[in-house]
A and B are shown apart, each in its own frame.
Chain A
Amino acid sequence: MSLSTAVTPRTQAGRSRGVLASIGWILILPAVILIGWAITAATVDSLVFPGPLQSLARLGEDLSEPGFRQSIVSTVTLLLAGWSLAVIVGTLVGFALGLSNFWSAVFETPLFALYSIPKVTLYPVFLLFLGIGDASRLTFAFFHGVFPIALLVMAATRSMDKNFLKLADVLVLPWYTRLRLILIPALLPSIVTAVRIAFGLTLLGLILAEMFSAQSGLGRELVSNVANVRVDHIAGQVVFIAILAVIPGFALRWGEKRITRRYGS
């Protein structure tokens, strides 16, 4: 899908105009959704169907409450921890397995199986072993994100030209030179893709875990509003979660494009 920038603007002014145009195109879809939502809410005119302005006002109220802010901090902290753990462990395991065609063939099926099963049904098992608390949420979020990273990095390592590594052995290159000249150019594009995918999966796992059982967190806040049918609060918080996810999402996508362009894929 290489369709982002058909025209490559050369000048500084041209480039900033290009950036503005692409941001404009990005904003169209949310604008359409927002307008559609407002029109529907005005037509239905019901207490259980709040409009965007009302929902955002409720979100403002929520944001001024210390309990809600505590939930944001808790979710963001666990997300960052689970995500970085998934990236580190997934990359190392994927790299180690990918170096050998044999062992990657052995581990590919179980890793793919673990990736494709609905892991949410395993969450009670995490609760049984780790108890209700940050440990089970963190581990579950990690577990949700680690397999695609391992699979992607494993595939990239396996398709890397191993003759370069043999050459590096012959030349007795130090490890940092190998890293800079061989490993990073070969693996970085796949690693950034994996990092981006893992972000979404880790966050999804975390929100799922919080909705099922947790003392705090954004998922917990959402579910606690369902019992009281506070639809306006729920809608405001959904918008908040979406914004919280979309900004790193676009940043990661942008970084991925730059790295892929630089090193090729």
Chain B
Amino acid sequence: MSTGPVATESATTPLRKDKPEIVRERRLGLTVRGWTIVGALLTVLFLELAPRLGLVDSFSLVPLSAMVMRAFGLLTDPEFLSQDLVPSLLSILVAFIFAVVSGVLIGLLVWRFDWARKTLDPWLATYYAIPTFALYPLLVALLGIGFVPIVLLATLFAVVAMISSTVDGLDGIPRSVLRLAAVLQLDPFQRTFKVLLPAALPQISVGLRLALSYSLIMVLASEFVLSTSGLGHFISNAYNDFAITDMYAGVLLVFVLALGLNFAFAAALRPQSKRVLS
């Protein structure tokens, strides 16, 4: 409950319990899935027809089919791939790895040592009130435009979610498990990797998902505001050049990437957390 998105995560859990009855229920002749599909179709229709019928002027919105065509065009364009897509993906991946490794280590520290907890705990809950992004101009001024400030900023943003969820997970380990580790006389390394972290895994996996989505958000935001490459830079550049179709194609690719990563991650983690829980 220290970071908000962790709390929203729990918003999805009660749903799973009462799903069976809801899945069958119909309102106005449609199930939940039916309404979701209708909503998606209406959005698609609006995005396609509004600019074509002149409901929205064509300088502000292009038809969805044009966005999709252009997005596919970009995906086969080697310059776009090497200048924009790959740098973004690389930055996201590196920031994610840094955030996870340092977040778990700091989380273990906070859990283990009272002084670390007393110093960091008040800031863990308040950290996301600070617009971390304000640091980006400073990092750029000190380190120059490029890969380093982007990765650093994304790591700084994602790491705190990782720390919080690691501490939450470790705090939730039952006493008996800790006693077992003591009885087995494991060395600190074994204790950490064979007992503590596996026991905290359900919470840590929530943190992993958040860290990934936070790295993605910050990498794209930095590229968007001040950068010379990356997907975010492609979109802001297209906007500045009035290349509206390019801009929307870029936005579409970002959404597909973000949602794809999110759902892939959720799907990959589901069996894992079940195994740990059972």
Contacts and interface: CB of A to CB of B under 8 A. Distances in A.
B1 interface: yes
Interface stretch (B94-102, B194-202, B221-229): B221-229
Contact of A223 (B122, B226, B235): B226
A215 B247 CA distance: 23
Nearest to B224: A120
B166 to A, nearest CB: 12
B247 A245 contact: no
A40 to B, nearest CB: 11
A29 B134 CA distance: 19
Interface in A200-238: 200-201, 203-204, 206-208, 211-212, 218-219, 222-223, 225-226, 229, 231, 234-235, 237-238
B55 interface: no
B141 A231 contact: yes
Contact of B129 (A193, A246, A265): A246
Contacts of B216: 118
Contact of B167 (A1, A110, A245): A1
Interface in A68-107: 101-106
B140 interface: yes
A171 interface: no
A118 B221 contact: yes
Interface string A1-27: 101100000000000000000100110
B83 interface: no
A48 B60 CA distance: 41
B40 to A, nearest CB: 8
A172 interface: no
B122 A159 contact: no
B26 to A, nearest CB: 9
Given A231-B142, A235-B138, A1 B4 contact: no
B32 A106 contact: yes
A143 B268 CA distance: 30
A3 B251 contact: no
A168 interface: no
A125 interface: yes
B173 interface: no
Interface string B242-256: 001001001100110
A108 B15 contact: yes
A124 interface: yes
Given A121-B235, A208-B225, A211-B225, A253 B125 contact: yes
Interface string B27-42: 1000010011001000
B262 interface: yes
Interface string B1-35: 11111011011101100110010010100001001
Interface stretch (A59-67, A148-156, A180-188): A148-156
Contact of B213 (A116, A155, A196, A200): A116
B119 A29 contact: yes
B140 A226 contact: yes
Interface residues on B, range: 35 or more
Contact of A200 (B39, B130, B262): B130
B60 A129 contact: yes
B8 A152 contact: yes
Interface residues of A, number: 78
Contact of B4 (A159, A193, A225, A241): A193
B76 interface: no
Interface in B67-89: none
7 contacts: A1-B121, A105-B15, A105-B22, A120-B232, A197-B5, A199-B129, A208-B224
Interface of A: 1, 3-4, 22, 25-26, 28-29, 48-49, 101-106, 108-110, 112-113, 115-118, 120-125, 127-129, 148, 151-152, 154-155, 158-159, 190, 193-194, 196-197, 199-201, 203-204, 206-208, 211-212, 218-219, 222-223, 225-226, 229, 231, 234-235, 237-238, 241-242, 245-246, 248-250, 252-253, 265
Interface of B: 1-5, 7-8, 10-12, 14-15, 18-19, 22, 25, 27, 32, 35-36, 39, 59-61, 117-126, 128-138, 140-142, 164, 167-168, 171, 213, 216-217, 220-221, 224-226, 231-232, 235-236, 239, 244, 247, 250-251, 254-255, 258-259, 262
Given A26-B122, A128-B59, 15 more contacts: A1-B1, A102-B25, A108-B11, A112-B8, A112-B11, A124-B239, A148-B4, A203-B129, A204-B133, A207-B134, A208-B133, A231-B142, A234-B138, A235-B138, A265-B1
